[in-house]
Structure 1
């Protein structure tokens, strides 16, 4: 962002201390007034930059803290995971944002350690296996910060598991799905019905797509999302509901995502 320079070309005069401080305060107020007046007339990119100066709210970065490979015979585990670190001005959101970052990091650490422990138990046994654990930022916009932890396991078959963590920047809150809906709303029903609608629409348009819905199958038909349903907010600010391979459809369809409409009942994002 290019910033103009305000210069005072009038000759300097010695003034009493109190008047000098008052002039500084008035000068700051005048500068803010100028920015407010000029902002609507700036081009879009410059206006966006000014609006997003780090005055309030939380700002994060993902820093790689573990990067290593374990290998023995035909078994290999590769770990490259990051830690969410907080970059924020002091404010009411800072303490909550720091706590949210710590919760995300603890979850990533716990899941990674569990997977590596399971991998170590297989070392020395016959057979091929490959494990990859990685993290990436999927959303970092004005309002949301979402990180994904991916576990990819390969042996006779392959399986991918995704764990999403979403923080609301304005107050640093680590979000649960229910937090995105009005209090008391039946959000699970609203989301589930929309997912079913999209499933039926996709299967009608493409016969090769198969969801476990409206079938006579036992124990695997999709009925409703869980209380711990995986989700994130995408770069367009829309709610995305996520399922791992084999959750609601054959493994061959991979990990599945459903973007929720902004007008979904109860949604208050």
Structure 2
């Protein structure tokens, strides 16, 4: 498999790209034999990473890459990678490409992920054009859940200047119904906002009491202005669902805590949600 991937990379680097790449991929597909060995799964699960320097963000290439077979996973995922390094400046931007039974949903998600990656790369070019000094963008993805029922995938972005700031966006997909879940869709009405927000405030205080190293921007925390205190979650609150059907909320760096706390996650007890849930299909 590694030799085939090296061939793929070399073929891409020799113009013309789209036609040559399509032909090479067709050969790989014909020669590929299913394998269930641990090594094969690890190679493919780690994603097929392409080192694309300079201005390369070829959408034909992106389309062709989606055809590469990935073995041994419940959901097939490959990676498109924009990479560039200058003096004190670098970009390493990875965009996932998923394969789903519903091709319309697959296209919708993959186009969104490519657009996110391209936007980050354009931002890097704009920020570094004619400029010196430290600046870096690192983007990667993390598959939190991949079961017969659910796929939860996050895209994590780290921007570094004098300091670093990290953010994440999650999508949770119902594989059987072929739809992207939203937080409001899990609940009967917006009462869940109060239920979860009240729990989070108490949990933040509990954690700070148990660990002096933890600080949250919540009422009662010294030196936190009122307009910076956490009040309630948003209907667009970032979340994912675990393999054991638990709800996890994610908060970007600096949003509810100092930067050294990084991205903060809270697993919400199902016991406090059960009266608000539409059903137990997703959260149990």
Q: Same fold (TM over 0.5)?
A: yes
SS at match of 2:228: coil
Separation in 1 of the partners of 2:179 and 2:82? 31
Separation in 2 of the partners of 1:253 and 1:231? 18
Q: Contact 2:82 / 2:93 at 8 angstroms: preserved in 1? A: yes
**Is 1:240 paired with 2:245?**
no
Deviation at 1:108, TM superposition (A): 1.9
Query: How do 1:223-234 and structure 2 match up within 5 A?
Result: 223-234=231-242
**Is 1:103 paired with 2:117?**
no
Partner of residue 270 from structure 2, selected from 245, 262, 266: 262
Q: Contact 1:153 / 1:159 at 8 angstroms: preserved in 2? A: yes
Matched pairs, number: 200
Structure-2 residue corresponding to 1:217: 225
Structure-1 residue corresponding to 2:76: 61
Structure-1 residue corresponding to 2:160: 154
Structure-2 residue corresponding to 1:53: none
Where does structure 1 lack aligned partners over 5 or more consecutive residues?
1-58, 89-93
**Is 1:85 paired with 2:93?**
no
Query: How big is each residue's C-alpha offset from its partner over 1:223-246, in whole Å with a ceiling of 9 and x where there is no partner?
Result: 001121100012222110000000
Separation in 1 of the partners of 2:269 and 2:149? 18
Separation in 2 of the partners of 1:111 and 1:241? 22
Separation in 2 of the partners of 1:136 and 1:236? 17
Q: Contact 1:62 / 1:137 at 8 angstroms: preserved in 2? A: no
Separation in 2 of the partners of 1:242 and 1:255? 7
SS at match of 1:263: helix
Deviation at 1:185, TM superposition (A): 4.6
Structure-2 residue corresponding to 1:204: 209
Partner of residue 189 from structure 1, selected from 189, 194, 205: 194
Structure-1 residue corresponding to 2:144: 138
Q: Contact 1:76 / 1:130 at 8 angstroms: preserved in 2? A: yes
Where does structure 2 lack aligned partners over 5 or more consecutive residues?
1-73
Deviation at 1:190, TM superposition (A): 1.5
Q: Contact 2:124 / 2:136 at 8 angstroms: preserved in 1? A: no
Q: Which has the larger radius of gyration?
A: 1
Query: How big is each residue's C-alpha offset from its partner over 1:15-37, in whole Å with a ceiling of 9 and x where there is no partner?
Result: xxxxxxxxxxxxxxxxxxxxxxx
Partner of residue 118 from structure 2, selected from 76, 94, 113: 113
Task: Provide closer, same or farther for how the CA distance between residues 103 and 193 of structure 1 changes in structure 2, counting only shifts above 3 A.
Answer: farther
Partner of residue 164 from structure 1, selected from 156, 170, 183: 170
Deviation at 1:206, TM superposition (A): 1.0
Query: How big is each residue's C-alpha offset from its partner over 1:126-165, in whole Å with a ceiling of 9 and x where there is no partner?
Result: 1012211112311102321011111112221011111110
Q: Which has the higher contact order (CA 8 A, sep 6+)?
A: 1
Separation in 1 of the partners of 2:106 and 2:204? 34
SS at match of 1:219: helix
Structure-1 residue corresponding to 2:23: none
- TM-score by length of structure 1 reads 0.69
Separation in 2 of the partners of 1:139 and 1:185? 26
